[in-house]
Amino acid sequence: QSALTQPPSASGSPGQSVTISCTGTSTDVGGYDFVSWYQQHPGKAPKLIIYEVTKRPSGVSDRFSGSKSGNTASLAVSGLQADDEADYYCSSYAGSNTLTFGGGTKLTVL
């Protein structure tokens, strides 16, 4: 298992939209529709915001949306708000009952 590749940083102004990518291989992201995204504020536990590529848990804002094309998954955040500033991690099922995470992306709201 290798870690999924995410950009180390992303940024946008309040009200704008931003997209974070998560690149894997055909043995993880590309092979299964089991990509999740997590938001983590400093000192807090990760919060599940997207699962199974596009699904949002109850209570998660519809400003967050997920998609996938080939070996790359993406998280889109629209209408950026100050509280969206956090670290974002993708994860993917990698076969044989294993998971792999991305390296994380620090989102800054300018």
The residue among 13 and 45 lying less far from other proteins, judged by its C-beta, is 45
Return the number of the residue (15 or 57) whose C-beta is nearest other proteins: 57
Instruction: Using alpha carbons, list the distances in angstroms from residue 107 to 10, 71, 75, 77, 82.
Output: 5, 22, 12, 10, 10
Chain contacts with other proteins (rule: CB under 8 A): 1, 3, 32, 34, 36, 38, 40, 45-46, 48, 50-52, 55, 57, 87, 89, 91-93, 96-104
**Smaller CB distance to other proteins: residue 17 or 38?**
38
Tokens encoding 81: 């708000």
Supply the minimum distance, in Å, between the C-beta of residue 42 and other proteins. Answer: 11
Residues 6+ apart with CB under 8 A from 63: 77, 78, 79, 81, 84
